[in-house]
Amino acid sequence: MGFVKSFEEIMANTKVTADFYDAEMLMVFWETKPEIIAKLIPPPLKPADAPIAMAFVANYPATNFDVTYKESALFIRAEYEGEEGNYCLAMPVTNDIAMAGGREMFGFPKKMANIHFEKKGTAVNGWTERRGVRFMEVNATLNGKPNDPSALTLLENESGEDGVIKGVSYNFKHFPGPEPGTLDYDPRLVKQETLLKPKVIEIGEAEIIFKHSDYDPWTEVTVVKMLGGIYTVGDNSMLGGKVVAETGFLEFSPYAFLKWDMV
């Protein structure tokens, strides 16, 4: 295995899906303000019917692409041509290959960070830290009762009869050009689906705590009402993505800084 790969080496390392085995995740859901969603979502995406935000912290102990790491993320609900999904505002990770793969293939706004994930009995805790600021912390008590019953509806709406949870993500794939103030190409809206096949699902009350950071402004997604937390352990599969639309440089430029630390 050298800098230049043979055709056989390329084919042997080509994966149809990115698979995560015994993935451990804590997802928390809350209602935010509709005007916040409207401000943060780039066209041609539109706000979903309900102003829902979601964050997670995850531990991936084994994958089919020879990488183990931790990850967190912040999403808001959006829709494109009538199909709801989650627009990703941030996705910190603890591994450089996981960062490069998600950014370069799908457009996920990944950055390197320190991430903690721990479960003790019914208590789950996670946090994310960058540039010396622990800007996000999540806590959940898995007592079978969410903060609000509508959290159960969110889970039911995305679960199939076989128990598989399908998550639709929307990201904009774009890269800065070599000339200052340009992009290499018109930003592309990528739709990508992930299948979660949980072996364990536990529900409980949750909280999310934000701390101001100039570089990770998660505080913008205000918590109006916490809905609850869902803890899962299972096998996840990231399917291939698809470019479903393009948008113009000037139209997209206010939203083009999720992947870089700019103040």
Pairing of strands 46-47, 69-80: antiparallel
**Top-confidence residue, 53 or 179:** 53
Separation between Cα atoms, residue 134 and residue 144, nearest integer Å: 28
Separation between Cα atoms, residue 214 and residue 233, nearest integer Å: 33
Instruction: Answer whether residue 61 shows pLDDT above 90.
Output: yes
**Top-confidence residue, 221 or 160:** 221
Rounded to a whole number of angstroms, the CA Rg of the chain reads: 18
Q: Which of 49-58, 155-164, 170-179 has the lowest mean pLDDT?
A: 155-164
Which pLDDT score is estimated for 201? 94
Q: What 3-state DSSP class applies to 132?
A: coil
Instruction: Answer whether residue 161 shows pLDDT above 80.
Output: no
Which pLDDT score is estimated for 62? 97
Q: What's the token pair of residue 29?
A: 């859901």
Instruction: Answer whether residue 10 shows pLDDT above 90.
Output: no
CATH of domain 16-159+200-234: 2.40.400.10
Residue 154: pLDDT band (50, 70, 90) is confident
Residue linked to tokens 């505002």 = 89
Which pLDDT score is estimated for 182? 83
* Cβ atoms of 158 and 166 closer than 8 Å: yes
